[in-house]
Structure 1
């Protein structure tokens, strides 16, 4: 089976560079590593509002710029960019409920401007960081790509609108795309090169390892009355390194089949409840995390688990880091490394 690090076919099959927007952030920085390790030339576009310049691998070129800046076209032309991986945007579901216009600006309007720059600059391939939030509260679990998309929060709606733009643009211009609908991304680069560094993050495993390292006093459990086995929300947690590998494979597919586009779930096809995740953190740390039971947060469905049959059938991608304790262990190692930076 091919892996990202030993397969250079995609890089050799595409002249030019890849732009990674949001490449100084959590998922984007891991995609940069995966692309560089595979042999691609990478240009990172990031305004560094939430990202960190030190998170960008020195093998990449960093351009400090907003994705909606018309100057993106000049970057595309200067670096002979043939593909874009778009990670930049806002990602906190409860915040999207309280400040929807921020999400329609940062996610939808900014993506529209970036896609326009891509078309103007002759970019041929576009990979979009979408989300399982496009499904809303699914009628069945696991949820598949063909199931209804009825978002229950502005975050999910903002991403679904971008998917629609990509579909329409690909029908009108010589560009193809892959929209990867992420489930819950967690963990960190196993080699310690990157991880989740954003202050005030809301992702459960990030919050839990912060509590384990003394940066938080407790972990809030938001909702204990969901229709799930233990009453807490169930999510499909995917290791960020596996997710980054899926992006590289998706790019290789777009290069090989330039007239086809794809929308694919990116998850493992199994879920863990909030309490099960906290139990895993307890096991890995050999301590007990303080848990505070809270009410539900607006916009949270009871369960989101990927039907990942399509991505497994479409890409030569197989998860390499699917063990929950291993995901927690990598996240904890990164959190401890972050502590050493301060």
Structure 2
């Protein structure tokens, strides 16, 4: 008889009004993950239920409390080195969870407040937050540098860019609740891809717009500042998504995510003038930042539950394209810079 075992106690609080489909979805996941020998169900009056499964691997129980929008799970599995991380991640993807609490232990151990893997997941979330916060500000600083070149008056351009960026982030945060971001990780992936496109291509867009609209100062200024607003709004979506993901893991983690985001922003503000600008052109910096952003985006894919393999392939393809173009921009920085400046900046004068 197999004596190695792991035990998971999982508490889930939902953010929406109660739906019986939540319990059914969890049962489907258990049916798919384990070998079910027997099912036992008891419905309570006026509401609530207890579901018990005898598994070939051991047993599973579920208790629902509709009046509290709360579900409690207890899974005991006799498998060596079994990890509940993927199972819980799948449950998180399908249910509107506002808060999650879990404890796990192996045979002979006391329950731990968090799985070791979840602690690692928290660290990954904080590192991700640091990187994407830095990337967002670097995109804006690139635009400020572009505006200084195209429109002149560096101090004015940097001040307006940062002010407009912060205001746009606030707008994005206000709009966050207006959008249906149920699948937080998938939504975050999409936001990152849009930031890669608008942020990574912003220096190229700025120099091309300058060559086309040079005689139309107001129109040129509107389009260039619109890029700042777009990146700011997307960054405004980004932070609440990261905080909500953190809140699902642990209530206090949301405030830590916020703090790390500020530190990442400070890091970018120091890195840009002291290291990046002296060593690279604005096009090279854009490619480096977009490449780093692309690596973060592709790391999200393994955490997303896809409807089918076609959708998963599409996400990998989009990420691979972003990484390829970023790599091309980094390795051909001088050629790209010379071509764009001679073709659209000097050639148009």
Q: Do both proteins adopt the same fold according to a TM-score greater than 0.5, normalized to the shorter chain?
A: no
- TM-score, structure 2 normalization: 0.21
Q: Which protein has the larger Cα radius of gyration, Structure 1 or Structure 2?
A: 2
- TM-score, structure 1 normalization: 0.22
